[in-house]
Amino acid sequence: GNSEWVAGNSMRLSPGAIPDDGELNVAIIPSASIYKVVTQLFPHITKGTHIDDPGVSYFTGRKIEVHSEPPAVLDLDGELFGTTPATFSICPLALEVVCRT
């Protein structure tokens, strides 16, 4: 993500993300039952504390490479994007963004 808040400012999926810092922020949440997501992870995602969960991986970078075995389907903001492997990178100054701080 490139913004701290998502879903109408109801979830802090990428706490500390700054839209214009040139970094991608990635939170990897492992597969879990819907029960676990709703009862255990969702309350933490709304506060941004999910990144402290030992099962969640969170990192930043200008270029992110995603590999998995077997290949996994990529869901980006609710859109099916393709499968792994995939590479994501920042395109500096590609889009002018105006936002509240």
Domain boundaries defined on the chain: 7-89
What single letter denotes the amino acid at residue 18?
I
Fold of 7-89: Tumour Suppressor Smad4 (2.60.200)
User: What is the secondary structure of 37-77 as a DSSP string?
Assistant: IIIIIHHHHHHTGGGGSTT-EEEEESEEEE--SS--EEEET
- Measured CA to CA, the distance from residue 95 to residue 78 in angstroms comes to 21
The model's pLDDT over 22-70, given as tens digits with 9 standing for 90+, comes to 888 887 777 666 677 777 777 777 777 777 777 778 888 899 898 999 9
- Is this model's pTM higher than 0.75 or not? no
Indicate if the alpha-carbon torsion angle 8, 79, 97, 2 is positive or negative: positive
